[in-house]
Amino acid sequence: MALPAREEFATANPHALATILEASQTRSIIATRDIFDFAGVKLWARDQPVSHALQRKLLDRKLRNPLESCLMAEDGVTAHSLLRSMEHLMAIDGPLHPLLAPHAARIVRETAHLPLHPVAQLLLTAANETRTDAYVHALQASAVCGALMCAHGGSTSELRLAMLAGLLHDLGEMYIDPHCGEADADQSLDFASYQQLVVHPHVGQLLLAQLTDYPSAVARAVAEHHERLDGSGYPHRLERDAISPLGRLLAVAENTLAVLRDRQPTLLQMSVSLRVVPGEFDLAWVKHVIGASLGAPTPQPRSSLPELQQRVQRLDTALRSANDLATVLLRENRTPALQRAVALATHLLERLRTGLNASGLWSGAALNERDLVEVEAVEEELSFRLRAIERATRLHAPDLEGADAERLARLCTTLHGR
């Protein structure tokens, strides 16, 4: 008797399927084998191009084999097209250039040797056709991981593994609503959407571990690319040695690119984001971004000194107010769910306070015209982190009601500095 597909992929994911079908409008995506449901009913014939008729047939049907392992993009992403895309990326004189340029030749050369498993090739093709920004982000992550590994003195096998992890790290996003992706995470996502976003590293790990033959180290790193050494990451809040070396590298690369995608696109800001809160990222990898930023052109400040002084004061006030309120809520011994959420907020606020103290922004003497650009970058990053604490706090108490919900809302309002 046939065994069902792994439970996580026993039914077609509607978001991944929709993306694949959209890509099939411009690329030839065919079935590489007959597709059967678990009862043995044939749903689609081998060599038949996919169409929206397949979507209707797959509705809520358990499959004998995962859909992803039954399809192939005949004219999709190839080793050659991947190489051409990487060459184009290396030629761009953007914020990443000082980091990538010293290692461009080696990165391009090794791109040609990255293995494209059919499942990964299918999903990368779908991303390239329908979510261009996601595909570019995958290329950038591969390049940044490659540059960091080169700067670190990694071997050829280590370099290829790092680049492969970067290329595949966000495949799990194909399995969530496209409006809940990382590109929108800090602008428009509501809490319910954010709940979808935080599972994508785990989905990516399952996808690679169950449907491909990539090394287990790659799947593990994909699961860890939003974790932080101090336990402030997601989805599992792993700490220090619980995060693999490749996962630590990927976390640095992902955070570097988050600045490029979501905030001020300068290498200085990327460097600041990696060191503003001590203990988040592995300095063995961070130091290479810092080194590249020192050789990059210095951006012009966007704020005057008085404006920046006011923002720093608001940041300090918000930190103090939020911490005071969190302390009160912890003493009140409310429901366990609220206690857990407030305890997390307190931990993250302490980490931000550590960053503020380390930066010296709490001292008026630290704010001067000479260091205006650096101080501005630190203030922007800390303010960004303060807003992010709200979402992380809500994530740990999604079902609060009544007075507890109001208390948490009051804390989150304080986190915004309002």
pLDDT in tens, 197-222: 778 899 999 999 999 999 999 999 99
The domain ranges of the chain are: 7-73, 79-294, 305-415
Question: Considering the domain 79-294, what is its CATH architecture?
Answer: Orthogonal Bundle (1.10)
pLDDT at 1 exceeding the cut of 70:
no
**Pairing relationship of beta strands 42-44 and 71-73 according to DSSP bridges:** unpaired
**Cα→Cα distances 196→134, 171, 397, Å:** 17, 14, 15
Q: Which of helix, strand or coil describes residue 117? A: coil
For 185-219, give one letter per residue: b (16+ CB within 10 A) or e. Answer: beeebeeebbbbbbebbbbbbbbbbbbbebbebbb
pLDDT for the residue numbered 402 = 85
Spatial separation of the C-alpha atoms in residues 113 and 370, rounded to whole Å: 46
**CA 181 to CA 130: how far, in whole Å?**
14
Split at pLDDT 50, 70, 90, the class of 295 is: confident
305-415: CATH topology is: Substrate Binding Domain Of Dnak; Chain:A; Domain 2 (1.20.1270)
CB 143 within 8 Å of CB 107:
yes
CB contact burial 297-336 (16+ within 10 A = b; e otherwise): eebebebeeeebbebbeebbebbeebbebbeebeeeebee
pLDDT at 383: 81
**pLDDT score of 2 more than 50:** no
Range from 21-25, 61-65, 151-155, 177-181 carrying the lowest mean pLDDT? 177-181
Flag whether pLDDT at 260 surpasses 60: yes
Q: Residue 377 forms beta bridges with which residues?
A: none
Structure tokens belonging to residue 413: 């309002």
Q: What is the DSSP letter of 43?
A: E
Average of per-residue pLDDT across 249-257:
95
**Considering the entire predicted model, what is its pTM?**
0.86
Minimal CA–CA distance to 148: which of 252, 279, 43? 252
> Rounded to an integer, what distance in angstroms lies between the CA atom of residue 360 and that of residue 330?
29
Q: Does residue 127 surpass a pLDDT of 90? A: yes
Question: Is residue 337's pLDDT more than 80?
Answer: yes
Average pLDDT over residues 17-31: 93
Q: Which amino acid is at 239?
A: E
